[in-house]
Amino acid sequence: MELFYPSLLGFFVLFVTLSFHFLFAQKSGSNKGNLPPGRTGFPVVGESLEFLSTGWKGHPEKFIFDRIAKYSSYVFRTSLLGSPAVVFCGAAGNKFLFSNENKLVQAWWPSSVDKIFPSSTQTSSKEEAIRLRKMLPNFLKAEALQRYVGIMDEIAQRHFATDWENKDQVVTFPLTKRYTFWLACRLFVSVEDPKQVAKFEDPFGVLAAGLLSIPIDLPGTPFNRAIKASNFIRRELVAIIKQRKLDLAEGKASPTQDILSHMLLTSDENGKFMHEADIADKILGLLVGGHDTASSSCASIVKFLAELPEVYEGVYKEQMEIAKSKAPGELLNFNDIQKMKYSWNVACEVMRLAPPLQGAFREAISDFMYSGFSIPKGWKIYWSAHSTHRNAEFFPEPLKFDPSRFEGSGPAPYTFVPFGGGPRMCPGKEYARLEILVFMHHLVKRFKWEKMIPNEKIIVDPMPNPEKGLPIRLYPHKA
């Protein structure tokens, strides 16, 4: 959930600021104490268009670093999403926010999200996210996920056989999205047949397009179609859930086969089990949030490995040693994943330079002081991964691709934050690590490749997105 909802907020900046629904928010807290340095920009719009446009131009960090330099401060005031906002930068800002989750700040996203992800229990998306986060760790921790590495390997083999092999060229980004969505369907609800996955794929595309559109619920609008798509998917999920309950009762399904079984068999602190519709709500959010950011990272890995042949060779050598150690037909296991140290260092350096999560919003739940400045209750707070990832103070020569940064104890605390941090660190971090490394294993084992558009623009809206989808020419390794 931490990865999903905040990653969509960049789009909502444009939509919401072009309306006047939040005009009143400009006035709230405007006369409270010693506010951080900054400006609110144009009426209603604030600085939102500049915030967005730097991402469209492929340099989202520019909005942050221009203001750090201008105000000589790692905390500054602005106006985003029609509301007054404060941007916290640097490791100290990250530590403060991550350490004060649900004490001074709480997660925040637009109320319009509730229209596409309505709760069957009539609670807000924020409350549902809190409930879900309490349940997920038992399923998504490393020990629990070990048993699924072989399943990930099997899905990856089928994906590459279908969409990559025997092709001279492919468009990368749609394929990485298909791979991560297929995995999410299998590991969350045991849907793995390509035809069944495709049945969900189109409605999910409609849903995603609606989330990235003006949130006006009128017949025929993308937002309205997204609401209808979410209702369709929810009905399909309820049918799957009903069947699973029968299969579990009859011993035809395993309690550990996926997150659906886990949800059906896990009670809350009061001993109550979730209703079918409630589980469908949770699964819907997980299916959307469980693949978007990982697919962006996989595509970025393809990009950087094409540009850095010496890094590719290091990954290839490591992965081939693992491949040669396997018997014919033997699947990858967790021990194999643990051997992929250089590959994961490479993936981390990719996520440092092209973080799938650019940052996230919080909301002040009370007045508080930070670095000598007053932060009024109700103000939005934004933290940016780039404020540390591309900062020479924390990463010398920040634009240089250097996987060795992650050797040993790795970066200093609160400086490398692609998964957030603190109580709201993405619970799917280990899941993402496994699916990314399995993808890298099958990719380099099969191919070398080159970019067909050498200087293809990377648009950040809000995740890194190759403008043309990253078309590449494939060169299969000789058997």
Task: List the 447-451 sheet strands across, edge first.
Answer: 169-171, 471-476, 447-451
DSSP secondary structure letter of residue 225: H
The 3-state DSSP class for residue 208 equals helix
Residues 6+ apart with CB under 8 A from 23: 44, 82
Q: What is the pLDDT of residues 260-292, one digit of tens each?
A: 988 888 877 778 888 888 888 888 878 877 777
Q: Using only C-alpha atoms, what is the Rg of the chain?
A: 22
The 3-state DSSP class for residue 368 equals strand
* pTM for this predicted structure: 0.85
CB 417 within 8 A of CB 388: yes
Residues 6+ apart with CB under 8 A from 395: 352, 388, 389, 405, 411, 415
Domains of the chain: 34-476 (1.10.630.10)
The partner residues of 459 in beta bridges, in order of sequence, read 465
pLDDT value for 119: 60
pLDDT value for 11: 44
Q: In one letter, which amino acid is 235?
A: R
> CA 68 to CA 37: how far, in whole Å?
10
- CA-closest candidate to residue 264, choices 236, 293, 234, 244: 244
Q: SS3 helix, strand, coil % of the chain, rounded to 5? A: 55, 10, 35
CB-based burial label for 369 (10 Å; 0-12, 13-18, 19+): exposed
- CA-closest candidate to residue 66, choices 38, 34, 35, 46: 38
pLDDT value for 158: 95
Is the confidence at residue 23, as pLDDT, over 70? no
pLDDT value for 125: 46
393 pLDDT tier (thresholds 50, 70, 90)? very high
Please tell me which residue, 185 or 41, carries the higher pLDDT value: 185
CB 32 within 8 A of CB 376: yes
Which two three-digit tokens encode residue 348? 């981390």
> CA 131 to CA 128: how far, in whole Å?
5
Is the confidence at residue 406, as pLDDT, over 80? yes
Is the confidence at residue 10, as pLDDT, over 50? no
Is the confidence at residue 240, as pLDDT, over 50? yes
Is the confidence at residue 30, as pLDDT, over 50? no
Is the confidence at residue 413, as pLDDT, over 80? yes
Q: What angle do CA 472, 478, 479 make, to 5 degrees?
A: 130
Q: Determine if residue 426 is labeled as part of a ligand binding site.
A: yes
Q: What is the pLDDT of residues 161-170, one digit of tens each?
A: 999 999 999 9
Is the confidence at residue 350, as pLDDT, over 80? yes
The 3-state DSSP class for residue 273 equals coil
Region 86-110 average pLDDT: 90
DSSP string, 378-398: T-EEEEETHHHHT-TTTSSST
Tell me how crowded residue 385 is: count the other CB atoms within 10 A of its CB. Answer: 26
Q: What is the pLDDT of residues 422-431, one digit of tens each?
A: 665 676 788 8
pLDDT value for 272: 82
Is the confidence at residue 3, as pLDDT, over 70? no
pLDDT value for 21: 41
DSSP string, 54-93: HHHTT-THHHHHHHHHHHT-SEEEEEETTEEEEEE-HHHH
> CA 241 to CA 248: how far, in whole Å?
10
Alpha carbon separation from 477 to 5, 6, 444 (Å, rounded): 40, 40, 9
Place of tokens 């941090």: 421
CB 32 within 8 A of CB 373: no
DSSP string, 118-136: --TTS--HHHHHHHHHHHH
CB 180 within 8 A of CB 295: yes
Please tell me which residue, 316 or 459, carries the higher pLDDT value: 316
Is the confidence at residue 380, as pLDDT, over 50? yes
Region 69-86 average pLDDT: 87
pLDDT value for 199: 83
Region 332-340 average pLDDT: 96
pLDDT value for 75: 94
Q: What is the pLDDT of residues 121-137, one digit of tens each?
A: 444 445 555 555 565 65
